[in-house]
Amino acid sequence: MATTVAEAVPADGAGSRPRRSRPARPAGARVRGAVEIVLLLVLAVVMVFPVVWMIETSIKEGRDVYAVPAQFWGFDVTLEHYRDVFVQRGGTGASDLAVAFRNSILVAGASTLLATALGVPAAWAYSRFDVKGKKDQLFFILSTRFMPPIVVVIPIFLMYRELGLINTQLGLILIYAAFNVPFTIWMMKGFVDEVPAEYEDAAMLDGYTRLQAFWKFTLPLLVPGIAATAVFALIFSWNEFVFAIFLTSSGDVRTAPPAIAGLIGGTTVDWGLIAASAVVFAAPVLLFAYLVRRHLVAGVTLGAVRR
């Protein structure tokens, strides 16, 4: 499934497929085409505007942020909100947000590594061997993602309290890895299925063991797929909010989503700072999404099941 659907998403430059010569179109069709372009542009502006607005807000002086009517251009540009994201206001140390960002990098990175390390071998085994009750097992794996997070968080909370994992980064890493493993297995199985099993058979005829054949011949071919899958796991862990807010409480453990959400407490809200931290937080995700754009459909479809 991974490739058939993935192919359907036009990658950059796919638009320049050979043009067929067409008979001259009647005026009606031309008007229609123009209307379609205008409609598309309007929709694009609506979809992109909030992001542009947030970026604008993040570089505005405080008084321009609260200007009525809103100022679309001609404001003074400042980077002080970005400085506030990283540096303690009026001090020299790292700000709470900077600590939260560091925690996010650690938690998202470690959980992704764990999910990949567990998921890729399992996917390979499911793809290559006749495992007993394979279909049931795969469905079971997928079905662990059907539960609403808010429902799962109650028993996880109780379990973690018993184990002393409440308010630890290890706790978050484990639960994120568990959420990403089903997705990793399903998506990677698609990639492994694409690699002919004959490669491994041939390698084994040459005297390699099955494991060596996997390691030396199949795994290198899977690297692009692994990268794409890992990026999805990374994005999920990076953006996750429900577990993060209920399973951690102290600032030195907390990841960025609850930390950013915490900025709206209190009587006055510093929207400039919120905008800047939102932009800083979203930037890596957008970069990663750009990197895996070819695999977006396959990833997202399973991603919907995953959560």
Partner 1 sequence: MATTTDAPVRAAAASPSPAPGRPPRLTDRRLAVAFISPAMLLLLTMSVFPLLWALYLSFTEYSVTRDVPPAWVGFANYADVVTSSEVHGRALTTLLYVVCAVGLQTVLGFTIAYLISRRKRGQGLLTLLFLVPMMLSPVVVGLFWRFMLDTQFGVVNSLLDSAGLGRVEWLTQQRTALLSLIVVDTWQWTPFIMLIALAGLTAVPKYLYEAASIDRASEWFRFRSITLPLVWPLLLIAVMFRAIEAFRQFDLVFILTNGGPGVSTETLSFHVYKVAFLGFDTGTASAYGILMVVVVIILAQFYLRYLDRIKER
For partner 1, the binding residues in 196-225 under the rule CB under 8 A are: 204, 209-212, 215-216, 219-220, 223
CB-nearer residue toward partner 1: 14 or 94: 14
CB-nearer residue toward partner 1: 92 or 205: 205
CB-nearer residue toward partner 1: 253 or 279: 279
Contact 123, 188 (CB under 8 A): yes
Q: How far is the CB of 279 from partner 1 (least distance, A)?
A: 9
Question: Does residue 54 sit in helix, strand or coil?
Answer: helix
CB-nearer residue toward partner 1: 137 or 167: 137
Site for partner 1 in 65-84 (CB under 8 A): 65-70
CB-nearer residue toward partner 1: 234 or 253: 234
- Residue with the two structure tokens 């604008």: 56
Output DSSP code: residue 75. P
Contact 84, 275 (CB under 8 A): no
Is there binding between residue 307 and partner 1 (CB under 8 A)? yes
Query: CB neighbours (10 Å) of residue 6?
Result: 22
Q: Across-strand partners of 94? A: 87
Site for partner 1 in 26-45 (CB under 8 A): 36-37, 39-40, 43-44
Q: How many residues bind partner 1 (CB under 8 A)?
A: 107
* Binding letters toward partner 1, positions 224-263, x by CB under 8 A: -----------x--xxxxx---x----------xx-xx-x
223 contacts: CB under 8 Å, gap ≥ 6: none
Site for partner 1 in 271-290 (CB under 8 A): 271, 274-275, 278, 281-282, 285-286, 289-290
CA-nearest of 227, 240, 120 to 174 is 240
Site for partner 1 in 163-202 (CB under 8 A): 174-175, 177-178, 181-182, 185
Interface segment toward partner 1; rule CB under 8 A; list 46-54, 80-88, 95-103, 190-198: 46-54
Q: What are phi and psi of 90, to 5 degrees?
A: 70, 5
Interface segment toward partner 1; rule CB under 8 A; list 4-12, 76-84, 94-102, 190-198: 4-12
Determine the angle formed by the axes of helices 96-128 and 219-239, rounding to 10 degrees: 140
Site for partner 1 in 98-117 (CB under 8 A): none
Site for partner 1 in 115-154 (CB under 8 A): 118-119, 121-122, 124-126, 128-129, 131, 137, 141, 144, 146-152, 154
CA-to-CA dists, residue 287 to 44, 176, 196, 273, 282, angstroms:
19, 21, 32, 22, 9
Residue 21 φ/ψ region, left for φ over 0, alpha for ψ in the -120 to 50 degree band, beta for the rest: beta
- The whole-angstrom separation of Cα 168 and Cα 170 is 5
